[in-house]
Structure 1
Amino acid sequence: MSTSTQPAIRVRGVEKSFGDLHVLRGVYLDVAPGSIFALLGSNGAGKTTMVRILSTLLAPDAGTAVVNGFDVTTAPRDVRESISLTGQFAAVDEILSGRENLVLVARLRHLDDPGAIADDLLARFSLTDAGSRRVSTYSGGMRRRLDIAMSLVGHPTVLFLDEPTTGLDPEARQEVWQVIQGLARQGTTVLLTTQYLEEAEQLADRIAILHQGRIIANGTLAELKALLPPATVEYVEKQPTLEEIFLALVGTRATTDSQKDPS
């Protein structure tokens, strides 16, 4: 992880509504360069909306968001040149081979020697042997690895992964986890959204819980565990799991909100 004191991503008071639906209600977070930051939340919590704002696909209604020193509202082109985004489903062309997919992206980005770029990424993601095969023959884990490889064409310094292991089996999920960990070791800043609490527990340097449009907890796994008292059984201390922390915090907040709003 980088030792830079400047955050790769800084979000201050971001709000976003769609008509009467208030999705983000003032989000604050910092992401250190070269780290893996997990944004946890239930369906509808606002995770994808936050990623779309950070990747300049949506404009915030209020607040500021800065990526690599560039404001997403006033300098969207500079932001886009230094990031990449991988959505919930692999955006690969199944008719093309894995290598052809990578070459196509490199050509679209007007990079020199697209073939060499493709070969390097195939090797980096352990796809060399499958590089000449049509993507329609790939397993789910291989498609996702290729999708992430495609997002790295051009060496973006920040990578947004929106629920990167959705629909994958446990073995394929492990493959993708290894890829993400390798990216962080090489200095890429990774912000991932996930509903899989084990995923955040295994990967993230820091974890934030987004609930009803606000960050209700933000810290390392150890810091989040400290929010709940350990249970003891026959003098054996049991640390709370991230799932227990998440459910306790979300449940507490939901109860408090319902008491404030009797409707």
Structure 2
Amino acid sequence: MLREYRNKATLGYFIMHVSNETFKGDGITDASLKSINTFVFNKGADQEVLIDEIKYRMPPFSVLPLMYNQHFVFEHPETLVAWQFNREFYCIVDHDAEVGCVGFLFYGIHHPMFVLLNKKEMEDLSDIEKNFSEEICLEDGFQGEMLRSLLKRLIIKITRIAKKQVKSYSDFSNEKMDLIRNFSLLLEGNFKKEHEVKFYASALNKSPKTLANFFAICHELSPLKLIHNRIILEAKRYIHYTDKTAKEIAYELGFENPEHFSRFFKSNTGKNISAFRKDD
């Protein structure tokens, strides 16, 4: 079952999936999903999920936040509950940063983040699910605001649970965690043009050395490695989900020299682009 809410004036879009066999995210090939974030609620057994062509196991009794640009396919989508929303529905401006489209769940340290739920938390989310099911059917002037209120409640609930489970979050101040989140936001908006750490450090009012030292303490990857990983991830998405040539992908990702991009891709994946596409 799929139920949706649309606001023609704001282009706000909210979707609720329950026992929907066709539920999946089609990544960059589906323009309608380009700005949609997703929460997946697994109330049953563990199952496999393919995220950007990488296999994971989604644990039982867990929630998985998925960003707008991720491609995903679940082994048993009919057993899941999922909520999807675009920026126009919930994030018209980036207020309430921790519980918005730029918050901890989408721009934190760990991705994918499987948030495990205890019995009480399962009951709480099941209650929220029930409220969503009721409101999505009430087509009146209050529907959009009620759905947004429920979504904010859901995000706050999951954020609280997730922060308790991420050890590194409790180890560092909010200021330090905000630096990681702000770096991730900058990276998402600029990785196709800016490939050097100095750009991101300057935007964050830090020196490249200070930023690198900070990530050495707070993150398992350096800023440069995160930049490279994001470029490679996007390159793989183009290879998997489009017919773009290697030269076209190189230009899309800010490489003026396609040969330089080819060497960059091979050094980071161990394969050249044609071999990677052949293995797909």
TM-score when scaled to structure 2? Answer: 0.25
Higher relative contact order (CA 8 A, sep 6+): 1
> Which structure has the highest strand share of the two?
1
Q: Which structure carries more helix by proportion?
A: 2
| TM-score calculated relative to the size of structure 1 | 0.26
